[in-house]
Structure 1
Amino acid sequence: MKRTMRIMMIAIYCILSCNILATAGNDKPISVTTLPIKAQILLTNYFGNQKVALATIESGVVNRSYDVVLQNGTKLEFNKKGELTEVDCKQGVVPVKLIPLSIKNYLQNNYPRQSVKKLEIKKNEYEVELSNGMDLTFNKHFQLIDID
């Protein structure tokens, strides 16, 4: 009896695990109005002249995120709260107002002729890709910690 119960519990666990993994990472197209308000405001304020080509929601096992692709190829990622986590400008440059002031000052002093093509915001660091292909990583205190 105990063995049967153990086998049943393992089987149920396996079925649930497979189901969770199968649904994780699914991107579903959504309308722009379905995005969190913070994301909608950022799009309007900084990319208002660009039309959204595609907006998707990615529901993971633990969290969800939103991806937006503009007609000019710019890609933006937002977390579940609508906070910007990444902006990748293929044709243009990252709007200056999206770059933290300390990083902007560092770039003006050290790379005055370079523009920011990509900005990735992580929990404890910021990654910046310049137009010359150089990648700079800053910690949460905006101190440079790596150059690639």
Structure 2
Amino acid sequence: MKKFLSVIMVSFALVSFAQDQPIKYNQLPKTGQQFINKHFGAKQVGSVMLDDDYFSKEYKVYLANGTKVEFEGNGSWKEVDGNRNPIPTGFVSTKVLNYVKKSFPNTTITKIERDRNEIEIKLNNGLELKFDKNGNFKKIDN
């Protein structure tokens, strides 16, 4: 039992001390690099951080214009935050984009987050729209 508790305590300590570490752009998974290159351009990259808590990895890319892009450990995008500025939408599903254009024609998307079950979009008017993973509108948060 003591051995088990020691392992748990050491694991907790390692996780607690894990922090973002700066890495080079070429250390970002290829999928993430391709995403940045296609939608933003590699020349826009300011810094890349690795958050490795020993159980999972996440990457954060900070662009020169203040945009932050987060990636899962495999390089798939998780969040794009323009910090109140419009973000590119070429990677957003057509279904979601059509809903936003039709329902909120004079707005721009400033942030998008996705997880396994949901997509959340923030508009420049402050509204947050939630969609299921298939792009079907669920609700508005404000």
Q: Give the TM-score normalised by the residue count of structure 2.
A: 0.90
| Aligned counterpart in structure 2 of residue 129 of structure 1, from 112, 122, 136 | 122
Q: Distance in 1 between matches of 2:24 and 2:138?
A: 38
Would you identify which runs of 4 or more consecutive aligned residues in structure 1 move more than 6 Å? none
In the alignment, structure 1 residue 97 sits paired with structure 2 residue 82: no
1:49 shift after superposition: 6.9
Task: Report the structure number with the largest CA radius of gyration.
Answer: 1
Do structure 1's residue 30 and structure 2's residue 23 form an aligned pair? yes
Q: Is there any run of 5+ residues in structure 2 with no aligned partner, and where? A: none
How far residue 30 of structure 1 moved from its aligned partner, in angstroms, is: 0.3
Which runs of structure 2 are paired with 1:9-88 in the superposition (5 Å)? Answer: 9=3, 12-24=6-18, 26-48=19-41, 50-88=43-81
Q: Give the aligned CA root-mean-square deviation in angstroms.
A: 1.8
Tell me the alpha carbon deviations over residues 33-81 of structure 1, each in whole angstroms, 9 at most, x when there is no partner: 1000011111111111752111000002421000010111000000011
- Taking structure 1 as the reference length, what is the TM-score of the superposition? 0.86
CA distance, structure 2, for counterparts of residue 80 and residue 68 of structure 1 = 13
- Equivalent pairs counted in the alignment come to 141
Query: Deviation of residue 92 (structure 1)?
Result: 3.3
**Distance between the aligned counterparts of 2:45 and 2:74, measured in 1?**
19
Structure 1: gaps of 5 or more residues: 1-5
